[in-house]
């Protein structure tokens, strides 16, 4: 057996080859222990292992080949939706069922209950252009195809020759009845006084209508060789069905709530159905440009409706503000002398209350304070320092009541409330919202007036505020007038 040295000679490897170094061990740093934790708490850290071992199966169970396979049997059955004796077969798992047993899918074979027509009740639903046999043929098709109108209209094929023969027979049968009815109508016409002024125009209208109907019927016959459109079939079916319910009620039978709802719903309008289809055809035949134009018109109409609603809300708000408050008390209580004396006492008490409220604020109730306040000020000055001759003259003038001219000359004004600190009078001028203030400034520039008064005296500031208020009122009136003009133009455009 060859040794390792022989193998080295064969592979031409050096004999004193250095030994392979051992694999370096990976150093795993130990996790640092957190300060303040006990050994038991620290041992709980790590992955959350469940208390119970959960065994999740990743593969399906092996099939049990030793178990006996379930048998499949070929079984015959008769479908429940057929009237003939057709027998079919299928594979069934387990034991075959009996042939007389009902099929599992026969419960889904639900048929609509279409009534059978009786010739005895034909008078109730008789109509010109429709015979009993053709009506029965229509009901048979509805029963066969479960009132699927498109299929019924496609399969409808009643010959015109048979229809004409039956119409002539029915005319002969009901000729006597029509004669009797015509005699009754003539007797009624003789008894009644009928105005015959517009008879010619009515006849002409009837002739025009008859021509239009004939043209429409010709077009229908060109499109449909049977002469019966889908709307005609629907109208005839629902009219006869509703008439049958009325016949049952006349015989004394009571209808169930579901049947009463059906009677109310069976109001088919052929003209409305035709208009609906024509409208849908026009909608489907629109070009992209027309669709875009209609969408733009809808958006514009919504904007106008929103603007109208907003304007109505603003009108109601203005009317609410302009309405005078109604007094709860009547005037009759003040017509007597006792009521008048009570009213004067109430007014005097209110006046005295107002004076008491104003007095503690440090502002004098008179033009420049009453004489008592002036004397107190003068006494306080005498305690500190002797009054000068000029100050004595000012005090003497303050004791008397000043006139309006003197108040204007001295620049005296009265304030309900004074703010603390020194401020410019122009800073107290009220301003409106930024959007409205910009419009007010534009009007002021048109009037060659500055945005702020150059010499803001009390009178100038008062006049400036009044001008601003009047400009705001005019702008609001202009806005309302523009809205009304726009509404008038829209209404004229609709006409």
pLDDT score at 312: 92
Block residue for tokens 């409220």: 357
- Let me know: does 121 contact 244? Beta carbons within 8 Å: yes
Check residue 56 and report its DSSP letter: -
Which residues, other chains included, contact 131 with Cβ-Cβ below 8 Å and sequence gap of 6+?
163, 166, 167, 170
Cα dist from 159 to 39, 113, 139, 163, 484, whole Å: 104, 27, 16, 6, 66
Burial category of 77 from C-beta neighbours within 10 Å (exposed 0-12, middle 13-18, buried 19 and up): buried
Number of other residues whose CB lies within 10 A of the CB of residue 236: 21
Contacts of 157 (CB under 8 A, 6+ apart): 226
Distance, in Å, from the CA atom of 103 to the CA atom of 99, rounded to the nearest integer, reads 9
**Gap between the Cα atoms of 20 and 25, Å rounded:** 15
Neighbouring C-beta atoms of residue 163, cutoff 10 Å: 19
**Which distant-in-sequence residues (6+ apart) come within 8 Å of 432 by Cβ?**
440, 468, 472
Element (H, E) at 378: helix 371-384
- The one-digit pLDDT tens for each residue of the chain (495 residues) are 567 777 777 777 766 655 666 777 666 667 665 566 566 666 666 666 656 666 777 777 787 778 788 889 998 888 877 778 888 888 988 887 776 777 778 888 888 888 888 888 888 888 878 888 888 899 999 988 988 999 999 999 887 766 666 666 666 666 666 666 666 666 666 555 555 555 556 667 666 766 666 666 555 555 554 568 899 899 989 988 888 888 888 888 888 888 888 888 888 888 999 999 999 999 999 999 999 999 999 999 999 999 999 999 998 888 887 775 555 666 677 667 777 778 788 878 876 766 665 554 444 444 444 444 445 444 545 444 445 555 565 556 555 667 778 777 777 777 777 777 777 777 778 787 888 888 888 888 888 888 888 888 888 888 888 998 899 899 999 999 999 998 898 888 876
Which residues, other chains included, contact 443 with Cβ-Cβ below 8 Å and sequence gap of 6+? Answer: 471, 474, 475
**In the beta sheet, which residues pair with residue 93?**
72
Contacts of 458 (CB under 8 A, 6+ apart): 411, 413, 425
Q: Which of 359, 392, 354 is nearest to 373 (CA)?
A: 359
Q: What token pair was written down for 399?
A: 């004791």
How many other CB atoms are found less than 10 A from the CB of residue 440? 20
Are 82 and 111 a contacting pair, CB within 8 Å? Answer: no
Segment holding 392, helix H or strand E: helix 389-399
- CA distance between the termini of the chain: 121
CATH class of 119-180+225-285: mainly alpha
> What does the domain layout of the chain look like in residue ranges?
72-108, 119-180+225-285, 289-317, 432-494
Beta-carbon contacts of 241 under 8 Å, excluding residues fewer than 6 positions away, are 115, 266
* pLDDT value, residue 289: 93
- Phi first, then psi: give them for residue 121, nearest 5 degrees: -95, 15
- pLDDT at residue number 362: 45
DSSP state of 99: T
Q: Which H or E element spans position 9?
A: helix 4-11
| Angle (deg, nearest 10), helices 160-173 and 175-191 | 60
Q: What is the CA radius of gyration of the chain?
A: 54
Q: Are 241 and 266 in contact (CB under 8 A)?
A: yes
The pLDDT assigned to 313 comes to 92
Task: Tell me if residue 414 falls in helix, strand or coil.
Answer: coil
Dist. CA 138–CA 156, nearest whole Å: 8
Contact predicate 279/458, CB 8 Å: no
- In 3D space, the residue among 109, 154, 108, 163 whose CA is nearest the CA of residue 136 turns out to be 163
- The candidate with the shortest Cα–Cα distance to 399, out of 377, 430, 416, is 377
Strands (E), 195-264: none
């Amino acid at each position: 057996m060859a040794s390792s040295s022989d193998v080295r000679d064969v592979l031409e490897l050096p004999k004193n080859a250095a030994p392979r170094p051992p694999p370096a061990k990976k150093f795993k740093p130990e996790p640092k222990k957190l300060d303040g934790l006990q050994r038991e708490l620290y041992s709980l850290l790590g992955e959350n292992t469940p208390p119970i071992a959960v065994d999740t199966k990743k593969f399906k169970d092996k099939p049990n080949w030793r178990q006996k396979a379930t048998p499949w049997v070929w079984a015959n059955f008769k479908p429940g939706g057929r009237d003939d004796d057709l027998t079919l077969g299928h594979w069934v798992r387990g034991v075959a069922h009996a042939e007389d047993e009902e099929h599992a899918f026969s419960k889904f074979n639900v048929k609509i209950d279409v009534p059978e027509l009786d010739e005895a009740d034909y008078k109730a639903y008789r109509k010109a252009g429709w015979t009993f046999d053709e009506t029965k043929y229509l009901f048979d098709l509805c029963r066969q195809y479960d009132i699927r109108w498109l299929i019924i209209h496609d399969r409808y094929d009643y010959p015109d020759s048979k229809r004409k023969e039956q119409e002539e027979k029915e005319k002969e049968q009901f000729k006597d009845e029509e004669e009797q009815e015509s005699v009754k109508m003539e007797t009624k016409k003789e008894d009644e006084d009928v105005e015959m002024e517009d008879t010619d125009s009515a006849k002409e209208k009837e002739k025009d209508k008859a021509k239009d109907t004939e043209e429409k019927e010709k077009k229908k016959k060109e499109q449909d060789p049977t002469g019966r459109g889908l709307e005609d079939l629907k109208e005839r079916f629902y009219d006869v069905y509703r008439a049958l319910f009325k016949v049952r009620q006349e015989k004394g039978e009571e209808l169930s709530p579901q049947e009463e709802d059906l009677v109310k719903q069976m109001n088919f309008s052929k003209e409305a159905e035709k208009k609906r289809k024509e409208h849908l055809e026009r909608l489907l035949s629109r070009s992209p440009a027309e669709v875009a134009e209609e969408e733009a018109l809808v958006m514009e109409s919504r904007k106008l409706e929103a603007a109208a609603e907003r304007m109505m809300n603003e009108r109601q708000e203005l009317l609410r503000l302009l309405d005078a408050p109604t007094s709860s008390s009547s005037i009759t209580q003040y017509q007597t002398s006792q009521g008048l004396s009570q009213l004067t006492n109430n007014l005097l008490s209110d006046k005295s209350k107002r004076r008491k409220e104003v007095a503690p604020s440090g502002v004098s109730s008179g033009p420049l304070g009453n004489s008592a306040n002036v004397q107190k000020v003068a006494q306080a000055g005498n305690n500190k320092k002797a009054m000068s001759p000029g100050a004595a003259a000012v005090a003497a003038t303050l004791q008397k009541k000043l006139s309006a001219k003197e108040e204007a000359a001295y620049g005296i004004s009265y304030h309900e409330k004074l703010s603390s600190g020194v401020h410019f009078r122009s800073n107290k001028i009220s301003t409106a919202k930024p959007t409205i203030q910009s419009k007010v400034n534009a009007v002021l520039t048109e009037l060659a007036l500055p945005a702020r008064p150059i010499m803001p005296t009390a009178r100038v500031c008062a006049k400036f505020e009044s001008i601003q208020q009047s400009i705001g009122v005019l702008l609001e009136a202009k806005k309302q007038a523009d809205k009304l003009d726009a509404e008038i133009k829209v209404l004229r455009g609709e006409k």
